[in-house]
Amino acid sequence: MTPSAILESALYVTDLDAAEKFYTDVLGLDLLGKVDGRHLFFRCGDGVLLIFNAEATKVPPAPDARLKVPPHGTVGDGHLCFAASADEIARWRAHLERKKIVIESDFEWPQGGRSIYIRD
């Protein structure tokens, strides 16, 4: 068996307000859900991008919690890659530059394709 798709991807941040501004104002994602101090959920194509306050997700659910999501989180930088065509990447680069977002790296992969790297 093979999974058919990735439904959700999670990133962990220390500043949810800054993350909300970045993912809505810079990347144009639609905010699906928000719990102050804990998380932001954004629609991205057929999937969902979950942005968590890393400290808040380390806390186990209460014994009587309706949704018993186990503790999770990470330390250090995460990585997420959005799909884009070559033409879209060129437009994204121009858009990010207009928004004063630093392009950390931009290169062609030996097996084909191009990547640009930014930080939220």
Q: Are 5 and 46 in contact (CB under 8 A)?
A: yes
CATH class of 1-58: alpha beta
> Cα–Cα distance between 42 and 51 in angstroms, integer?
8
Q: What per-residue confidence (pLDDT) applies to 77?
A: 86
Q: Which residue has the tokens 């501004």?
A: 21
Domains of the chain, residue spans: 1-58, 81-120
Cα distances from 95 to residues 49, 62, 92, 101, in angstroms, run 21, 43, 5, 9
Contact assessment for residue 80 and residue 19, using Cβ atoms and an 8 Å cutoff: no
19 C-beta neighbours (distance < 10 Å), count:
20
pLDDT of residue 105: 95
What are 81-111's pLDDT values in tens digits? 999 999 999 999 999 999 999 999 999 999 9
Q: Is the pTM of this model over 0.75?
A: yes
* Residues in the chain, pLDDT under 50: none
Q: pLDDT value at position 98?
A: 96
Q: How far is CA 101 from the centre of its chain?
A: 16
Which tokens sit at 42? 């954004």
C-alpha 80/C-alpha 51 separation (Å) is: 11
Q: Which runs of consecutive H residues, i.e. helices, occur in the chain? A: 16-21, 86-98
